[in-house]
């Protein structure tokens, strides 16, 4: 490996570049994931199952994509933990009186925590759906999803995970642009607006599923009574 790569990756700016690129790749995945989930609204459980079947049909390609995605997660999380540890060490003794200067946000200050919640949520999510489908334990994934999301416990877990994701993204997307040096008087206001909109759209979009499932099954059981 050429020496510049090692130097680049161990530098603070290089680490932030990789954080930003992996983070934005994960955002790209989320966009595709959300669009796919919308088949539940457009085609009902059947439509959702058709979409899932098409994904399964990709076979090796799907596997390769999942392995890649997993690697990106591992790199992002690994670097996040390293950065968080180094940053803690950079201020060994804390201020006795703490005041913010007004530019940091609750979202920016809780990146490590929201990231960790997202990571834990991800494990739950994979155990819920990916592990069973991988071993052929679920025949009707659409029904399984709706059942999980319409149980109060399931819906709560998913809403907490999605709230953490929304907070994470609220800071993350525009932060990634800055880390990559994408700054320009003409474009920055638009980039910032686009970043905020995307963060909100992803959070609201994903949160709509547990809410929809809770409401529709609530209505269904009310109708049954």
Distance (Å, whole) CA 33 – CA 126: 14
**Contact 29/69 with Cβ under 8 angstroms?**
yes
Please give the residues from 83 up to 142 whose contact with ligand HEM meets the rule CB under 6 A: 83-84, 111-112, 115-116, 118-119
Look at residue 217 and give the partner it binds from other proteins, ligand HEM, none, a contact being a CB closer than 5 to 8 Å depending on partner kind. Answer: none
Please give the residues from 143 up to 172 whose contact with ligand HEM meets the rule CB under 6 A: 168, 172
Measure Cα distances from 154 to 196, 200, 209 in Å. Answer: 28, 22, 11
**Contact 36/206 with Cβ under 8 angstroms?**
no
Sign of CA dihedral 128, 134, 138, 144: positive
Q: Which of 20, 52, 195, 203 binds ligand HEM (CB under 6 A)?
A: 20
- Among residues 148 and 168, whose Cβ is nearest to other proteins? 168
Distance (Å, whole) CA 65 – CA 108: 30
Distance (Å, whole) CA 148 – CA 60: 28
Residues within the interface to other proteins (CB under 8 A)? 4, 7-8, 11-17, 83, 86-87, 89-104, 108-109, 111, 171, 174-175, 178-183, 188
Least gap, CB of 183 to ligand HEM (angstroms)? 13
Look at residue 76 and give the partner it binds from ligand HEM, other proteins, none, a contact being a CB closer than 5 to 8 Å depending on partner kind. Answer: ligand HEM
Nearest Cα to Cα of residue 116 among 155, 74, 70, 77:
77
Say which DSSP state 14 is in.
H
**Contact 191/182 with Cβ under 8 angstroms?**
yes
Stretch that binds ligand HEM, among 7-15, 72-80, 123-131, 147-155 (CB under 6 A): 72-80
Residue 198 binds ligand HEM, judged by CB under 6 A: no
Look at residue 197 and give the partner it binds from other proteins, ligand HEM, none, a contact being a CB closer than 5 to 8 Å depending on partner kind. Answer: none
Contact positions toward ligand HEM, by CB under 6 A? 16, 19-20, 23-24, 26-27, 30, 76-77, 80-81, 83-84, 111-112, 115-116, 118-119, 168, 172-173, 175-176, 179
């Amino acid at each position: 490996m050429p020496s510049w790569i090692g130097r680049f990756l161990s530098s603070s700016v290089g680490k932030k570049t990789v954080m930003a690129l992996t983070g934005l790749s994960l955002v790209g995945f989320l966009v595709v994931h959300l669009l796919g989930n919308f088949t539940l609204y457009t085609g009902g459980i059947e439509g959702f199952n058709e979409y899932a079947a098409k994904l399964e049909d990709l076979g090796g390609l799907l596997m390769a994509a999942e392995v890649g995605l997993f690697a990106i997660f591992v790199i992002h999380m690994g670097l996040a933990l390293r950065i968080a540890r180094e940053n803690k060490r950079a201020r060994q003794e804390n201020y006795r009186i703490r005041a913010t200067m007004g530019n940091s946000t609750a979202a920016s200050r809780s990146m490590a925590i929201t990231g960790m919640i997202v990571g834990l949520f991800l494990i739950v999510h994979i155990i819920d759906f990916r592990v069973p489908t991988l071993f052929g334990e679920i025949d009707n994934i659409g029904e399984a999803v709706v059942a999980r999301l319409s149980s109060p416990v399931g819906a709560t877990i998913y809403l907490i995970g999605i709230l953490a994701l929304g907070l994470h993204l609220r800071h993350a997307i525009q932060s990634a642009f800055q880390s990559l040096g994408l700054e320009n008087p003409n474009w920055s206001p638009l980039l910032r607006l686009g970043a905020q909109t995307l963060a909100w759209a992803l959070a609201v979009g994903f949160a709509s599923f547990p809410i929809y499932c809770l409401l529709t099954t609530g209505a269904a059981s009310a109708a049954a009574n």
